[in-house]
Amino acid sequence: MADLEGIIAAYGSGLARVAASYEADPALQEDLLQDILLAIHRALPALKQQERLAPFVFRIAHNRSVTHVMQQSARRTRAASYLAEDEAETPEQVLLADERSHRLTAAVRRLPLPYRQVMTLLLEELSYAEIAEALGLSLSNVGVRVNRAKAQLKALLDDE
């Protein structure tokens, strides 16, 4: 049976990126990551097939992140402020690769939730089958969402 330390070692950075794709504020990202890890810890006894650990972990991460977004939106006067948030970085701190990564993360945050979910998992190098299992979708629906998300990302990045 998988333990939380093993999951953190294997998926910690991926889970942090999932949290970052849903929350722009670094402090709230950390809170969200802790919520995700707690939810995974609580759900581990329900895992029946160890070979399906990745979809299991990322499904929990996305479900917890969706809940987080809904809670944050309810607390804010405008839901649009969440999508417009952006971490402030000085030009000296940002290398070209970091800037591109930052732009991509910001663009992914602006996608509608169904597209954001599939793109985040795709960027974590999950297969379409694993994404389908993690999100409870059909394989063809994952493909459609990925294609639409890529088109929207291209448009968002081209507009910048």
- Where in the sequence is the domain holding 144, given as residue range(s)? 4-159
| Cβ atoms of 107 and 120 closer than 8 Å | no
pLDDT per position as a tens digit, 112-140: 999 999 998 888 888 999 999 999 999 99
Whole-structure pTM value: 0.60
Q: What total of structural domains would you count in the chain? A: 1
